[in-house]
């Protein structure tokens, strides 16, 4: 994000803000879950857009965006608390204009976009009039290593000509534009300076949405889609570069650091909702003879373990966000890796326990558990798989011993 770090809110002001966010999430969005979990997004969108209008009217729109651009201008640590509230229900990030990958693209364009890019693409994205996507992962290369790219863009006169095959491009279905990672300087001495980011309109000739990839059986469309894309001889103006030429890797890392904190706090909110559903089910489900599901020792242990893991993760992520606000992203690089795999694992365990407590009901879309179980299994894969982040943390620890 461009400019100096935002100032932290006083505790009372933050709690008042969180209360307002919580009220909209739980009173307006949770009742709409049958709409957007069981119907195509295009059919549920009108109801969700009505809530979006309420969010704007309440002055809660895009809380991570600087005030000068129409947001609340929250510091990362304060926005982390908001993210936890938004994790309570799947559509809340959309309702508050905080959904991935738009958050990361907004941050890129605010920090590195040209005036023309900001006017044409950033302004409608800030208003929530359009969606965007980020195309980096490729079918033929390891997604955990963004240096490995087959995508190529060559400069011909005043145009870039792009050839690329991408997949797992979230929200490409319905997006107005993509930010595409492609190699522009294959002969650069450093592999970290070979790729650039290009802003590509999704309606440009040569852009093809091949398919929306089914995730755990869920077909996905629009806001919950993950697409396979082709860019065949796509021409965009030379001024379509986002940031400097050859800086694609550096910008991707800059984008991912705060994004992982956003993800982790949203996962904490999701796990809190899963635990709430688990406890309600355990307390209310009768087994006969006066016994209830919550009387079973195994269920009690699941509840206790979930509470302990959640509280530990929340404190860890809040501390990381506060340190990033104070010291910058480089100072907490290894900590970001730590929270990424640790919170993702916690989320998976809590969701699994909640599904088990609900029995067959947990496999349906009568609760949000099945949706989360399918879509958030990827938490241990996207933005770097667990194994990569664990190695980053372990290497950092071992350096101190070897020194």
Q: What is the average pLDDT score of the chain?
A: 93
Domain ranges of the chain: 11-113, 131-242, 249-402
**Hunting for tokens 């790729």 — which residue is that?**
195
| Equal CATH topology for 131-242 and 249-402 | no
Question: What is the enclosing helix (H) or strand (E) of 22?
Answer: helix 11-24
Q: Which of 8, 112, 90 is closest to 326 using CA atoms?
A: 8
The pLDDT, as a whole number, for residue 219 is 75
The string over 74-110, giving b where at least 16 C-beta atoms fall within 10 Å of a residue's C-beta and e elsewhere, is bbbbbbbbbbbbbbbbbbbbbbbbbbbbbbbbbbbbb
Residue 164 contacts residue 231 (beta carbons within 8 Å): yes
Q: Within 13 A of 181's CA, how many CA atoms are on the CB side?
A: 29
Interval 72-87: pLDDT, tens = 999 999 999 999 999 9
E strand intervals along 114-265: 131-135, 152-156, 159-170, 175-183, 195-201, 207-212, 226-237
The fold for domain 249-402 equals Butyryl-CoA Dehydrogenase, subunit A; domain 3 (1.20.140)
Instruction: Considering only residues 142 and 25, tell me which one the structure prediction assigns the higher pLDDT.
Output: 25
For residue 2, what pLDDT band results from cuts at 50, 70 and 90? very low
Q: Please state the rounded mean pLDDT for residues 362-380.
A: 94
The per-residue pLDDT for 4 is 57
Instruction: Give the pLDDT of residue 288.
Output: 87
pLDDT tens-digit map of 329-359? 888 889 999 999 999 999 999 999 999 999 9
Q: Are strands 286-288 and 226-237 parallel, antiparallel or unpaired?
A: unpaired
- In the predicted structure, residue 5 carries a pLDDT above the cut 80: no
- Residue 299, C-beta contacts closer than 8 angstroms, at least 6 positions apart: 282, 293, 357
Q: Would you identify the CATH topology of the domain 11-113?
A: Butyryl-Coa Dehydrogenase, subunit A; domain 1 (1.10.540)
Instruction: Report, as an integer, the average pLDDT of 383-402.
Output: 93
Q: Are 134 and 109 in contact (CB under 8 A)?
A: no
pTM, rounded to two decimals: 0.92
Q: Provide DSSP, 24-61.
A: HIIIIIGGGHHHHHHS-HHHHHHHHHHHHHHHHHTT-S
Where do runs of H (alpha helix) occur along 196-332? 248-284, 297-327
**Which whole number is the average pLDDT over 267-287?**
97
In this prediction, residue 205 carries a pLDDT of 98
> Which architecture does CATH list for 131-242?
Beta Barrel (2.40)
- pLDDT tier, 3 (very low <50, low <70, confident <90, very high otherwise): low
**Separation between Cα atoms, residue 91 and residue 50, nearest integer Å:** 13
- Sequence-distant (≥ 6) Cβ neighbours of residue 43 within 8 angstroms: 35
Identify the weakest region by mean pLDDT among 126-135, 211-220, 234-243, 318-327.
Answer: 211-220
Least confident of 92-101, 182-191, 212-221: 212-221
pLDDT for the residue numbered 330: 84
* Model confidence pLDDT, tens digit, residues 47-71: 999 999 999 999 999 999 999 999 9
pLDDT at position 211 is 95
Closest-CA residue to 320 (of 346, 350, 342): 342
* 173 sits in which H/E element: none
C-beta separation of 284 from 292 below 8 A: yes
Dmax (CA) of the chain: 81
Running DSSP on this structure, what letter comes out for residue 381?
T
Assign 250 a pLDDT band (cuts: 50, 70, 90): very high
How far from 19 is each of 87, 225, 270, 277, 319, CA to CA, in Å?
14, 31, 17, 20, 21
Q: Averaged over 188-200, what is the pLDDT? A: 96
């Amino acid at each position: 994000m461009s400019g100096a770090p935002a100032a932290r809110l006083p505790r009372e002001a933050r709690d008042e803000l969180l209360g307002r966010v919580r009220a909209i999430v739980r009173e307006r969005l949770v009742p709409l879950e049958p709409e957007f979990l069981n119907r195509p997004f295009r059919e549920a969108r009108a109801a969700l857009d009505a809530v979006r209008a309420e969010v704007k009217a309440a002055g809660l729109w895009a809380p991570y965006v600087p005030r000068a651009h129409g947001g609340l201008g929250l510091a990362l640590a304060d926005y982390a608390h908001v993210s936890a509230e938004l994790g309570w229900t799947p559509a809340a990030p959309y309702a508050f204009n905080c959904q991935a990958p738009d958050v990361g693209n907004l941050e890129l364009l605010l920090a590195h976009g040209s005036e023309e890019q900001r006017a044409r693409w950033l302004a409608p994205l800030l208003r929530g009039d359009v969606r965007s996507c980020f195309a980096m992962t490729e079918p033929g290369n390891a997604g955990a290593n963004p240096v490995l790219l087959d995508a190529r863009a060559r400069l011909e006169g005043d145009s870039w000509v792009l050839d690329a095959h991408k997949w797992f491009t979230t929200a490409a279905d319905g997006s107005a534009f993509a930010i595409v990672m492609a190699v522009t300087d294959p002969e650069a001495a450093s592999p970290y300076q070979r790729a650039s980011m290009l802003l590509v309109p999704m309606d440009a000739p040569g852009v093809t949405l091949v398919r929306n990839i089914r995730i755990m059986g869920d077909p996905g469309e629009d806001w919950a889609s993950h697409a396979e894309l082709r860019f065949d001889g796509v021409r965009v103006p030379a001024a379509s570069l986002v940031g400097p030429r050859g800086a694609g890797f550096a910008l991707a890392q800059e984008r991912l650091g705060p994004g992982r904190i956003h993800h982790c706090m949203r996962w904490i909110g999701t796990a809190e909702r899963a635990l709430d559903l688990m406890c309600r089910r355990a307390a209310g489900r009768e087994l006969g003879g006066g016994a209830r599901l919550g009387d079973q020792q195994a269920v009690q242990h699941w509840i206790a373990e979930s509470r302990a893991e959640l509280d530990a993760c929340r404190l860890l992520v809040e501390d990381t966000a506060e340190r990033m606000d104070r010291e910058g992203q480089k100072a907490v690089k290894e900590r970001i890796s730590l929270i990424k795999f640790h919170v993702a694992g916690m989320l998976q365990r809590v969701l699994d326990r909640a599904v088990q407590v609900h029995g067959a009901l947990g496999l349906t879309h009568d609760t949000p558990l099945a949706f989360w179980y399918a879509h958030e299994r990827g938490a241990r894969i996207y933005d770097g798989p667990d194994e990569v982040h664990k190695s980053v943390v372990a290497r950092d620890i071992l350096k101190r011993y070897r020194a």
